[in-house]
Every structure is written in C-alpha cells, then in structure tokens.
Structure 1
C-alpha cells in the first residue's frame, strides 16, 4: 500500500473528501484479459469455464476466484496457489501487451486530480499486476494504492476501502467509491462510502446509497459532489 506524500487539502462541502477508484472494469477494460487467462487455464485442466462461474469471479480475490474455477470444473482438489501462480503469470503477459481505458474514466480521473481531490486506487488485483497497470494509469494519478494481496480481508469486506480512507487521512463517509461489480459495491457500501456503480459484465442490483451510470462518460465533479448530499432520482 502506498503511503501518501501530499499535503491533504482543507475539506470542502462542495466536493468529496476523496474519490476511491476500483481498477479492473472500472478504470481499465481488463476483464476481457482475465477472461482469456481463466478460460485458457480451464482448457489446460481439461474443462470449460461456465459463464456463471466467470461472472461470480468478477471483483473477488484471487483465492476466491480459484475456488470458483476448481468447483466449476469439478476439480475441487486442485491447489489454488498453483492455479493462482499460473493466472498471475499469464495476466502479467496480457497486461504488458497494453490496457485500454474504460469510456470516460481518464477524463474523470483528470478532473478529480485537477480539482486537488485526493484519490486512491482500491483493487482486488495483486501488487505485481497493479505495478504493470500503473504504467497505463499513471503512478502520479493516485495518492494511495490498496492492492488485494496487501489487506487481510478482500472485497466484499469493507477493509480495502477503510484502508484507503485511513491512508488518505479522510473520513470514509465523505468519500465516493467508483465500482463496476456487485462485490466491489458491497465492499464500498459496507465501509460507509457513497458509491457510483458503472456495471460492465455483471448487473448491480439497485439499492440505497448506490447511484448507477451506464458509463463514466456521464460522470463529472458535480455528480460526485451530489452523491454525498440528497439521493439522486
């Protein structure tokens, strides 16, 4: 986890105290790369990964994903650590081949940074993958980075988002978290953040405290500020 080196600005009621960004499927279009690696491993194990199992993996930790993969293939006896090692090596190859921004993600991130609003990257991906992704995202784009292998409890547990707020030195209740998956949304809600959901692969059920958009292209600083006030219609 990166320790912030910036001077925290005075909190303003106009904007969030911080914006906390998920990575896969939210900022970058990396879920397709995970699809490739997971389906390749399933074939290597002599099976085919079901769509149901794949959707259930989105937003979860590596350990949980490997359990879902093995159970889906009817091979629960397989070593999840060995499978995770294979996936990590393959994903690193795919990440290095290039990552594409999700629509509207880069302009929103730039607008948040220009407004001097603290930011954190809060992801279920491990540090090795995140280091590669930061070549695309920009290492100066975030004041703190929380990786899935650097917290005791991963999403949907609230710890990743609580950790990000602690590193930034801001109250979680004044933060906006931006997520694409039900697992990530559950984590941010449990932590106490306001949530902007932009579902891609898996629908997010409507619930209190969560505003949904089809794309971050429709998001701006005014919307983020409004999420901390009266619920949007």
Structure 2
C-alpha cells in the first residue's frame, strides 16, 4: 500500500496513518500478563502489589522486571532471567487465544477498508507479536514495531516515530490509539494525534489527548476530527 494514495483530495481529511497499540487496546491480553506476573512473583515467594502491576502496564520488559523485583524487595535478581521466564509463560498463554477489545476489530477493519496505512506499535517482544498476529491478522498492518526492535521503548517517542518513518508519512498527520499512561505519553511526545481508550488503568485528562471509554462507535470521521481539532488549536 502506498501512502501517496492519501494525497488524493477526496481523502485529504483522513489520517496519513493509524498507529495501534496492541495489549489492552486491540486485544484483551493484559489479563494474561496478570497471570504470568503473579505466577512469577509467587515463584519468588511473594505477591505483586496492585500498584506495581499498574505501573508495569505499557512498559518494556526490562522496566517491568525492575518494577516486579523492587516490589518484591528483591532488586538483586537478574532481570534477564525473569524476563525469560515471563516470555516463556506468556507465549503459552497467548496461544490459548486473544479476545478483541470492544470495537477494536470493527475500527481496524474500517481503517483497512479505507486504504489508510496502519502500524502495530507495541511494547511486547516480536515473539509474542507473532502469536498475536494469528488473531489480529498478518495483513492488518503495513508495519509492526515490537518492543525489542527499538532502542528507547515507550514512554519515549521512538516507537511511534519509527512506525511513521517506515510508513513514509509525517507523524503529525497520524492518529495513535493507546490505552496506558506510558503509551499515551509515547504517542503524545511523538507528535501524533492521540486517541486514548483506558483498559486496566484509569487515564488522567491530558491536553492534546481525546479519551473515549471504548472503541465501539469510533469511526474514520472521529479520527479525522482529531487531526482537524489539533490543526485549529
């Protein structure tokens, strides 16, 4: 798919691309992460606190393991060993199936039908993304930016900037869809218009971020309006 399609005046109101987060935004996978993280915490003789679990949402694996270790009072543990344990367990859990978040499938299908370029921009590593794509559809995205394929993970803007660069579109003409504070911060810092749909963690009201309770009913007109509202601001 060529981004030049969007230069047609009839499509000029559309975003240049739509950049989707994965966990908690498109698929309801955070509950599977809950299982794996709590199992590891108990393996280490403790329980992961609610506060630590919420802090982990949307973070890269190394940071997640640091939070888990600190929460358990075991900062000396090797994050690489813990990450390997989590990756092996979450791979098993992902293979059991991933339910779509409300409205996510319909929105993704509408964006693809309009021939708008799409990217999957996730903190999850490529091995997990490959399994998730069995649910999401391997032809649903023009590019995928996995968490282990960038130098700086969310909340740094690099993942979203990388997606826009690969698609050959200006980030300022993109809409990013996120569910977590970490992801929203990454998307906002990149310069994209941001649509936030909270899942496991409540999101504070933030200037420049449009928040909805669900992707149900979100359509191309709303995505276009996000860009128009920012241009008029």
TM-score range for the pair, normalised by the shorter chain length: over 0.9
In the other structure, the counterpart of 1:54 is 53
State the distance in 2 between where 1:162 and 1:230 align: 21
- Report if the CA contact (8 A) 2:6-2:116 is conserved: no
Select which of 3, 6, 12 maps to 1:10: 6
TM-score, length-scaled by structure 2: 0.96
1:17-96 alignment runs, 5 A limit: 17-96=16-95
1:96-135 alignment runs, 5 A limit: 96-135=95-134
State the distance in 2 between where 1:7 and 1:195 align: 23
1:219 matched to 2:215? The reply is no
Per-residue CA distance 1:162-205 (angstroms, 9 max, x = gap):
00000000000000000000000000000000000000111111
In the other structure, the counterpart of 2:209 is 210
- Report if the CA contact (8 A) 2:6-2:14 is conserved: no
State the 1:115 CA deviation: 0.2
Q: 5+ unaligned residues in a row in structure 1: which ranges?
A: 1-5
State the 1:7 CA deviation: 2.3
In the other structure, the counterpart of 2:228 is 229
- Report if the CA contact (8 A) 2:197-2:214 is conserved: yes
Per-residue CA distance 1:107-148 (angstroms, 9 max, x = gap):
000000000000000000000000000000000000000000
State the distance in 2 between where 1:230 and 1:76 align: 45
State the distance in 1 between where 2:2 and 2:222 align: 25
State the distance in 2 between where 1:126 and 1:14 align: 33
Structure 1 runs, 4 residues or longer, greater than 4 Å off: none
State the distance in 2 between where 1:169 and 1:213 align: 28
In the other structure, the counterpart of 2:169 is 170
State the distance in 1 between where 2:135 and 2:200 align: 22
1:201 matched to 2:200? The reply is yes
State the distance in 2 between where 1:59 and 1:25 align: 9
TM-score, length-scaled by structure 1: 0.96
